[in-house]
Structure 1
């Protein structure tokens, strides 16, 4: 004796399952694209901030009071940090990336400036079980050398 099973509704469960997987995949791709675009923007801002900070050695008070030295220029860490902060404010980076934080590393031996930026990103689509925000970071660096 064979029992007849009612198979109605089985395709519906499978279609709903595939639709959920597809929706989560789309959300993941959209979120990854948003993070990539923000990182690209932060890369540009970090490079500009590093150049402004390194340029401080070429146009700052140190050059006017002591003259242009041969080779590497001296950089003052506090002045470089102030210059980077002013650059971020002047370019509207704080408005474009709310919650923007920065760190500046100055290497006196090489007269190099490295700027690390971090900003939170509100993810456009939330994948269930994932956080709603992420932190995106970028780094830019520059070196100032006096040439005659």
Structure 2
């Protein structure tokens, strides 16, 4: 009776495990990079929302000059302009190439919601993953004048 030769089976198993391990490492690195970029975009969105609520309601800095008397009216044009200005001044456009934003103004509750999105630059790629990914964050602020 002939005996089967099993030489080389261990090598194949080790190579297979190495590939699985490499894909797991690439996935962890990419997930960590995505998490860190989302955290950065959270900060950008929150800052933009605060600036939009501030300048969008009054047209000027209320932290330095105080809130004017009367009802605060949010202007969509002023909100968009203040968000754009904030993103330029804070360097967000340079930090996140391809950064885009969307503004949602709720005049009834005098709240501003800012949605920012940016392409995600993944350091490693896993076979089968998308070539271009996008990540986003949302920040909101409310304008309230207390007597």
Please say if 1:68 is aligned against 2:69.
yes
Query: RMSD of the TM alignment (CA)?
Result: 1.7
How far apart, in 2, do the equivalents of 1:33 and 1:132 lie?
17
Name the residue aligned to 2:65: none
Please say if 1:132 is aligned against 2:131.
yes
| Deviation of 1:59 (Å) | 3.8
When residues 102 and 82 of structure 1 are mapped into structure 2, their CA distance, relative to the original with a 3 A threshold, is same
Three-state SS of the structure 1 residue aligned to 2:6 is coil
How far apart, in 2, do the equivalents of 1:95 and 1:13 lie?
47
Name the residue aligned to 1:145: 144
| Deviation of 1:18 (Å) | 0.3
How far apart, in 1, do the equivalents of 2:56 and 2:27 lie?
44
| Deviation of 1:12 (Å) | 0.2
Name the residue aligned to 1:22: 21
| Deviation of 1:133 (Å) | 2.7
Aligned residues: 142
Query: Contact 1:57/1:144 (CA < 8 Å) preserved in 2?
Result: no
Three-state SS of the structure 1 residue aligned to 2:133 is strand
Question: Unpaired segments of 5 or more residues in structure 2?
Answer: 63-67
